[in-house]
């Protein structure tokens, strides 16, 4: 009985000792962190909040942050070098309040625990300068990103694929680096800051432009010139189309040059004429206002518009001047013929002789100019003015006036002439005009239309 009491007393004393030790331990950890407590991998066991905060800030001030690529460090800096200031006080206080000082197990805060995040004061300027300096140095030897583009190749347009370069965008890299620091990550990959192509080979804008270019460079075109159709080679049209800086256009200079070659080849203005006369056979004439040419500015504009429409086309030629005949004839079969040698005039309409008469042409010293002309105006009751051989002025009223050149020569009635034909013109001829009998001129004026050719030889 006595021995049993001894054991009970020892046990009671042990309980008291253990309880006292446990109570002392619990009181100790009311202001300190339990054993094996870690925050973001840093051991803070046995430390109070202030001590733990110092341990953490010291640790992270020495932490190295890296810019990497393919597992290779490109640039690095410590937290202190980057001007980072951390304060874990709030987090540590919450952690201490949450731990059970009477517990026997450690409180461990994993790095992924949101409570482990510190209040970070980052020096944005220092981080930006660090990244900018690193980027400038790295970009010196890096390839440039190239957008996909349309290029000419083998007489056609194709898409040249984009090129992904390795040059870094400082702004993107700064943003990624700052975000990594804020999320307590130690590395950021440089690949997130690669300059990306703004235009790729599959971009809708590029593929649609290529289609339009393809359509433009494969159209067929032609110009109708009188009784023939001039086909424009597809290769020629293709050479007119330009593509630069994303803009499709048609070269005005190249189209104008092509039209100029047509103008040289076609048209009648300024060329030598051959004419089958009524009494003197075929005569050759190299003078006059009659004739047509291609209106080059208008024709160029019409061609450019037709090509831009990206459809096959056939245009009518744009002309200027007089005497354009769709059937391809030069003078046609309606005209006035003035034979100076025979002092006779004819009017043919649609190949049939309708009117004829003797005339009086200019004196030998003021001869009526030969050539192919045309009636460019018709006037009633005009007054013809000029200078006589002796220098005096004259003013001759006429009932019918049809000028044919631009110096004052034309066809008109001449009631002052007593006779016509023969050699009368040699002494009594005009100052260059073709004098017609009044009765004949009345009929001729009524019959002749504006633009009618007048062949004088």
* Annotation marks residue 428 as catalytic: no
**217-266+293-321 has which CATH code?**
3.10.20.800
Strands 434-436 and 410-413, by their bridges, are parallel
pLDDT tens digits for range 9-41: 454 445 443 444 444 555 678 899 899 888 877
Q: Which whole-number Å values give the CA distances from 158 to 140, 147, 148, 440, in the listed order? A: 31, 14, 10, 72
pLDDT of residue 10: 52
Q: Are the C-beta atoms of 272 and 287 separated by less than 8 Å?
A: no
Enter the tokens of residue 259: 């039209």
Catalytic residue among 344, 412, 428, 431: 412
* Annotation marks residue 28 as catalytic: no
Enter the tokens of residue 437: 């009998």
Give bridge partners of residue 188 from the DSSP assignment.
Answer: 67
Q: Low-confidence residues of the chain, pLDDT below 50?
A: 9, 11-13, 15-23, 104-117
pLDDT tens digits for range 131-171: 999 999 999 999 999 999 989 888 788 999 999 999 999 99
Q: Are the C-beta atoms of 444 and 373 separated by less than 8 Å?
A: no
Q: Are the C-beta atoms of 165 and 195 separated by less than 8 Å?
A: yes
pLDDT of residue 25: 52
pLDDT tens digits for range 319-345: 999 999 988 888 999 999 999 999 999
pLDDT of residue 20: 44
Apex 160 CA angle, 143 and 189, nearest 5: 35
Task: Tell me if the pTM is above 0.75.
Answer: no
Q: Are the C-beta atoms of 440 and 430 separated by less than 8 Å?
A: no
Q: Are the C-beta atoms of 437 and 356 separated by less than 8 Å?
A: no
Fold of 335-456: L,D-transpeptidase catalytic domain-like (2.40.440)
């Amino acid at each position: 009985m006595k021995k049993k009491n001894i054991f009970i007393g020892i046990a009671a004393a042990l309980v008291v000792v253990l309880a006292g030790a446990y109570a002392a331990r619990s009181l100790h950890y009311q202001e300190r962190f339990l054993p094996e407590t870690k925050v973001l991998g840093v051991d803070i066991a046995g430390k109070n909040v202030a001590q733990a905060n110092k341990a953490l800030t010291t640790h992270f001030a020495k932490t190295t942050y890296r810019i990497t690529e393919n597992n290779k460090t490109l640039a690095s800096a410590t937290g202190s070098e980057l001007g980072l200031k951390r304060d874990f006080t709030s987090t540590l206080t919450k952690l201490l309040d949450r731990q059970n000082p009477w517990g026997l197990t450690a409180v461990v805060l994993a790095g992924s625990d949101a409570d482990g995040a510190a209040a970070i004061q980052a020096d944005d300027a220092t981080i930006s300068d660090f990244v900018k300096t690193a980027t400038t140095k790295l970009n010196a030897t890096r390839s440039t990103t190239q957008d996909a583009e349309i290029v000419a190749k083998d007489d056609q347009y194709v898409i040249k694929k984009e090129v992904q370069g390795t040059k870094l965008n400082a702004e993107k890299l700064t943003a990624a680096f700052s975000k990594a620091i804020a999320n307590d990550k130690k590395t950021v990959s440089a690949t997130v800051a690669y300059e990306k192509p703004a235009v790729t080979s599959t971009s809708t804008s590029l593929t649609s432009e290529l289609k339009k270019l393809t359509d433009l460079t494969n159209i067929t075109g032609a110009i109708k010139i009188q009784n023939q159709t001039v086909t424009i080679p597809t290769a020629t049209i293709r050479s007119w189309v330009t593509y630069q800086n994303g803009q499709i256009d048609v070269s005005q200079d190249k189209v104008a040059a092509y039209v100029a070659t047509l103008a040289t080849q076609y048209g009648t203005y300024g060329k030598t004429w051959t004419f089958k006369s009524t009494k003197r056979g075929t005569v050759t004439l190299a003078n006059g206002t009659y004739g047509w040419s291609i209106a080059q500015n208008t024709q160029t504009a019409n061609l450019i518009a037709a090509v831009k429409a990206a459809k096959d086309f056939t245009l009518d030629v744009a002309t200027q001047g007089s005497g354009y005949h769709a059937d391809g004839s030069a003078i046609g079969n309606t005209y006035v013929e003035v034979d100076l040698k025979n002092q006779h005039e004819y009017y043919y309409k649609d190949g049939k002789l309708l009117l004829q008469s003797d005339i009086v042409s200019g004196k030998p010293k003021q001869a009526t100019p030969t050539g192919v002309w045309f009636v460019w105006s018709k006037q009633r009751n005009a007054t013809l003015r000029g200078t006589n051989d002796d220098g005096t002025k004259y003013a001759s009223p006429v009932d019918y006036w049809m000028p044919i050149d631009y110096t004052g020569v034309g066809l008109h009635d001449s009631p002052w002439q007593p006779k016509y034909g023969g050699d009368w013109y040699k002494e009594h001829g005009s100052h260059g005009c073709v004098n017609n009998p009044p009765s004949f001129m009345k009929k001729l004026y009524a019959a002749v239309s504006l633009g009618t050719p007048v062949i004088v030889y």
